[in-house]
Amino acid sequence: MERRTFLGVTAVSGAALLTGCKREEVQSAPAIGKRRKIRIKLATSWPANFPIMGEGVVRFAERVKEASGGDVEIKVFAKNLLVPALGVFDACSAGEIEAFHSGPYYWKGKNRAFSLFGGFPFGFTANEMGAWMVYGGGLELWRELYGRYNLYPLLGGNTDVQMGGWFRKRIESLEDLKGLKMRIPGLGGEVMAKLGVNPILLPAGEIYTALDRGTIDATEWVGPALDIKMGFYKVAKYYYSGFHEPGSVLELTFNKRFWEGLPSDIRALITSCAHELNSTMIYDFQAQNARALKKLEELGVSLENFPPQVVEAAKRALAAVIEEQSRLSPDFKRVWESIEPFWRENRAWSSLGLKNFLEMRDG
Ligand code: CA
User: Both 261 and 325 in a single domain?
Assistant: no
Residue 154 lies in a domain: yes
Residue 188 lies in a domain: yes
User: Both 205 and 322 in a single domain?
Assistant: yes
CA of 205 to the centre of ligand 1 (A): 14
CA of 162 to the centre of ligand 1 (A): 6
Instruction: Tell me which of 235, 262, 286 is where a domain ends.
Output: 286
User: Both 151 and 188 in a single domain?
Assistant: no
User: Both 136 and 170 in a single domain?
Assistant: no
CA of 194 to the centre of ligand 1 (A): 18
The CA-based dihedral angle spanning residues 65, 69, 72, 73, taken in that order and rounded to the nearest 10 degrees: 50
Of 35, 27, 21, 31, which is closest to residue 5 (Cα–Cα)? 27
User: Both 72 and 188 in a single domain?
Assistant: no
What is the reported pLDDT for 5? 37
CA of 257 to the centre of ligand 1 (A): 32
User: Both 86 and 231 in a single domain?
Assistant: no
Residue 29 lies in a domain: no
User: Both 52 and 102 in a single domain?
Assistant: yes
User: What pTM value is reported for the model?
Assistant: 0.89
> Can you give the pLDDT of all 363 residues of the chain as single tens digits?
344 433 333 333 333 333 334 444 444 444 445 678 999 999 999 999 999 999 999 999 999 999 999 999 999 999 999 999 999 999 999 999 999 999 999 999 999 999 999 999 999 999 999 999 999 999 999 999 999 999 999 999 999 999 999 999 999 999 999 999 999 999 999 999 999 999 998 988 999 999 999 999 999 999 999 999 999 999 999 999 999 999 999 999 999 999 999 999 999 999 999 999 999 999 999 999 999 999 999 999 999 999 999 999 999 999 999 999 999 999 999 999 999 999 999 999 999 999 999 999 999
Residue 363 lies in a domain: no
CA of 263 to the centre of ligand 1 (A): 37
User: Both 42 and 128 in a single domain?
Assistant: yes
User: Both 74 and 104 in a single domain?
Assistant: yes
User: Both 120 and 230 in a single domain?
Assistant: no
What is the reported pLDDT for 14? 37
How far are the Cα atoms of 142, 236, 263 from residue 104, in angstroms, in the given order?
10, 29, 26
CA of 16 to the centre of ligand 1 (A): 58
CA of 190 to the centre of ligand 1 (A): 13
Number of folded domains that form the chain = 2
Instruction: Tell me which of 263, 286, 309 is where a domain ends.
Output: 286
Residue 119: partners with Cβ closer than 8 Å, 6 or more residues away: 105, 129, 245, 246, 247, 248, 249
Look up the CATH number of the domain holding residue 108. Answer: 3.40.190.170
How far are the Cα atoms of 57, 117, 230, 231, 233 from residue 226, in angstroms, in the given order?
16, 22, 7, 9, 12
User: Both 184 and 84 in a single domain?
Assistant: no
Three-class secondary structure of residue 345 per DSSP: helix
Residue 153 lies in a domain: yes
What is the reported pLDDT for 33? 54
CA of 163 to the centre of ligand 1 (A): 8
Residue 68: partners with Cβ closer than 8 Å, 6 or more residues away: 3, 38, 266, 269
Residue 13 lies in a domain: no
CA of 123 to the centre of ligand 1 (A): 14
Residue 348 lies in a domain: no
Which range of residues forms the domain containing residue 151? 35-160+247-286
Cα–Cα distance between 200 and 39 in angstroms, integer?
39
What is the reported pLDDT for 34? 62
CA of 267 to the centre of ligand 1 (A): 31
CA of 187 to the centre of ligand 1 (A): 11
CA of 22 to the centre of ligand 1 (A): 58
User: Both 212 and 325 in a single domain?
Assistant: yes
CA of 219 to the centre of ligand 1 (A): 9
CA of 220 to the centre of ligand 1 (A): 6
Instruction: Tell me which of 234, 263, 286 is where a domain ends.
Output: 286
Q: What's the sign of the alpha-carbon dihedral 165, 166, 170, 173? A: negative
CA of 159 to the centre of ligand 1 (A): 9
CA of 183 to the centre of ligand 1 (A): 9
Residue 56 lies in a domain: yes
